[in-house]
Amino acid sequence: MKSKMLQRALTAAVTPALLLQFTPAHAAAPVAAKPKPSVLTCTTTTPEGLSYTVIKAGKGERPNAESRVIVNYKGMLTADGTEFDSGQGAQFPVGGVIPGFAQGLQLMQAGGSYRLCIPSKLGYGAAGTGPIPANADLVFEVDLLSFKNPAPKPVIPVAERSCSQTTASGLGFDLIKAGAGKSATDSDMALVDFTVFDASTGVVQQQREWEKIALSQASPVFGEGLKMMQAGSTYRFCMPKGADSGPESNIIVTLLDVRPAPTADN
């Protein structure tokens, strides 16, 4: 009796329109739930194709391609969110990671958190690697804890970058400091300090001290320059530009000593 009364009371309280929805003969098909928006998306896209979202802004300067960073990070596949890598307090040079990650790091400031959406072309491309499939788009969530920039490279002054004299082979040279010691021959080994620098910008590319160079193994143009020198002298050499182009480099050499080249073991 109570059951019938409860049923009548419920029926009276529900509108006819709603009752239709619960009539077994006319029940509507279940409505599929709308998919939730993916969190693996980014809001801003760079001209190179990298996308990013600023989760938390940092402060101060930004890293450059030469910087060494300390980060927390998590890497995921865009397709399904699978995590393939993570790190806490990881340290590495900006230039040592995939292009998209390197570009993203240079957008950040210390203390910032970013989401980086990296297309395959800025990631591992068609080759893939390990758990990352070929042509996979990636997402990294990155906290930039801190970074350090390397000391600026020395720069040779403009007046000291070029040569005023040239040999018949095209080797440019200038005597910077005269020496009074022995000159090297093809059978000798030269002990030198040298500095290689970009001929246009003067930026030092390499510096070596007390380097041993067997003249028989030196390039013809460098060997020519070494044989012009006397121990104790310093020369600037302007190398002839090669057919393969690329940055033109000049070199400052100090000939410290000349010794007989060691003989090869038979």
Note the helical H segments in the chain.
Answer: 2-13, 16-21, 99-105, 220-228
Give the CA count within 13 Å in the CB-facing half-sphere of 162.
5
pLDDT band at 29 (very low <50, low <70, confident <90, very high): low
Q: What does the pLDDT look like over 34-78, one tens digit per residue?
A: 444 456 899 999 999 999 999 999 999 999 999 999 999 999 999
Percent of the chain surpassing pLDDT 90: 77
Q: What's the confidence (pLDDT) of residue 88?
A: 97
Q: Give per-residue pLDDT as tens, 195-219.
A: 999 999 999 999 999 999 999 999 9
Which of 165-174, 198-207, 240-249 bottoms out in mean pLDDT, i.e. has the lowest? 240-249
Q: 173 pLDDT exceeds 90?
A: yes
Pairing of strands 165-166, 138-148: unpaired
Strand partners, 165: 173
The b-or-e profile of 31-45 (16+ CB within 10 A means b, else e) is eeeeeeeeebebeee
Q: ∠176-182-188 over CA atoms, to 5°? A: 110
pTM exceeding 0.85: no
Q: Which strands form 83-93's sheet, in the order they lie side by side?
A: 44-45, 51-56, 113-118, 138-148, 68-77, 83-93
| Contact present, 71 and 143 (Cβ < 8 Å) | yes
Q: What's the CA gap between 247 and 75, in Å, rounded?
A: 37
Q: What is the pLDDT of residues 83-131, one digit of tens each?
A: 999 999 999 999 999 999 999 999 999 999 999 999 999 999 999 999 9
pLDDT of residue 7: 42
CA-wise closest residue to 47 among 120, 115, 122: 122
CB 122 within 8 A of CB 161: no
